[in-house]
Amino acid sequence: MRRVIVDTDTAGDDTQALALAVLSDRLSVEAVTVVAGNVPFDRQVENAKYTLSLVDSADVPVYEGARSPLVKSHEHSTEIHGEGGLGGDLHPETAIDSAEGFGPDEIVRRCRESPGELTLLCIGPLTNLALAHAREESLPDLVDEVWVMGGAVNCRGNVTPAAEFNFWVDPDAAARVVDAFDVTLVDWGLCLRTAFGADALDAVADMDTDLAEFFLEVTKTVRARGEADGLDGITQPDGLTTALLAYPELRERVSMYSVAVDERSGLTRGYTSVDVEGDTDDPADTRVVEAADSRGFTDVILSMLRDRDPDAGVV
């Protein structure tokens, strides 16, 4: 069982990733840290607590982290996740207290206490991790692995032609993290190639479970508007990242590349430069998941929504 801290900007697909991480016997979620991103910050905090309560894990501490990116301003993605982040109509008030302490400080504290034993699962902008690294320069040596959902590897972005949302929100943090840590990257292009298809959505609609109902609610906005031209279904970027961490058998091809992020403002803000041809002299120290078992990932999610047992979806 891998010990994990989940860093999230909790909205639609983040909720499914968080549920998967908690319900899988492969992972042990020890803390959740919340970062600015998808929707207003306080909504994200409540969304995380509400999701944990749905999977009987309200005792997992939720720490509030950075309420804004390091340098730049950003816009929320309510057009994807709905107002509040859970489809538009669900605005939970859990009355669960946030844990005491600042998210980045808690990342540092826990990694110092258990060097080499904690994996960071970063499914939002990377502000919290960048701040944690600023507080502890040796943090890259104290973590086990760092998994990141972010970037667009040689494909069109999902917020601008150049950039994926998480890297666009805080490109300064993304540039620092990719430079400092040995990251495993799950990018937007892979999410498109492993999208949750129409047949899978029909299967969820036929289920009569609380988690299936929750999935349909939080994906309501994106299912209604469509997500990408030509895509028959929806992506689940954060759930995919979590599944690939938990289930190595779903990883079909992982390659090492030199990766850099453009932190400048303008058209290329958040652009992910991936040196697939080895044209630079920079070290190839970022693991990029280039191919994954789409059917296997879908089975994991369906098993979670039907039986609260994502592990049963892995053959």
Could you give the CA distance from residue 14 to residue 238 in angstroms, rounded to a whole number?
A: 6
Q: Exposed (0-12), middle (13-18) or buried (19+): which is 227, by Cβ within 10 Å?
A: middle
Least Cα distance to 60 among 24, 36, 96 occurs for 96
* pLDDT band at 5; cut points 50, 70, 90: very high
Neighbours of 224 (CB within 10 A): 10
pLDDT of 229 above 80: no
Could you give the CA distance from residue 310 to residue 85 in angstroms, rounded to a whole number?
A: 23
239 HSE (CA, 13 A, CB side): 28
pLDDT of 67 above 80: yes
Secondary structure class of 165 (helix, strand, coil): helix
Question: Structure tokens of 153?
Answer: 């590897």
Contact 17/48 with Cβ under 8 angstroms? no
Q: What pLDDT sits at residue 99? A: 98
Provide the 8-state DSSP code for 102: B
Mean pLDDT of 102-117: 98
* pLDDT band at 40; cut points 50, 70, 90: very high
What's the chain's average pLDDT?
96
* pLDDT band at 62; cut points 50, 70, 90: very high
Could you give the CA distance from residue 27 to residue 254 in angstroms, rounded to a whole number?
A: 21
Mean pLDDT of 9-29: 98
Mean pLDDT of 99-112: 98
Mean pLDDT of 290-314: 97
Residues 6+ apart with CB under 8 A from 261: 151, 167, 171, 174, 175, 178, 270, 271, 272, 273
Secondary structure class of 207 (helix, strand, coil): coil
* pLDDT band at 230; cut points 50, 70, 90: confident
pLDDT of 233 above 80: yes
Mean pLDDT of 47-60: 98
Architecture of domain 2-313: Alpha-Beta Complex (3.90)
Q: What pLDDT sits at residue 232? A: 85
pLDDT of 315 above 80: no
Least Cα distance to 149 among 189, 107, 200 occurs for 189
Provide the percentage of residues in the chain whose pLDDT is more than 90. 95
Question: Structure tokens of 25?
Answer: 């016997």
Q: What pLDDT sits at residue 298? A: 97
* pLDDT band at 226; cut points 50, 70, 90: confident
pLDDT of 34 above 90: yes
* pLDDT band at 281; cut points 50, 70, 90: confident
Mean pLDDT of 125-141: 98
Q: What pLDDT sits at residue 257? A: 97
Q: What pLDDT sits at residue 130? A: 98
Q: So where are the chain's domains?
A: 2-313
Lowest mean pLDDT among 98-102, 265-269, 276-280: 276-280
Question: Structure tokens of 180?
Answer: 């400092």
Could you give the CA distance from residue 267 to residue 2 in angstroms, rounded to a whole number?
A: 39
Q: What is the pLDDT of residues 197-214, one digit of tens each?
A: 999 999 999 999 999 999
Residues 6+ apart with CB under 8 A from 208: none
Mean pLDDT of 4-15: 97
Confidence (pTM): 0.97
Tell me which residue has tokens 């919340």: 34
Q: What pLDDT sits at residue 278? A: 86
**Chain centroid to CA 140: how far?**
19
Phi, psi of 126, rounded to the nearest 5 degrees: -100, 25
Mean pLDDT of 70-82: 94
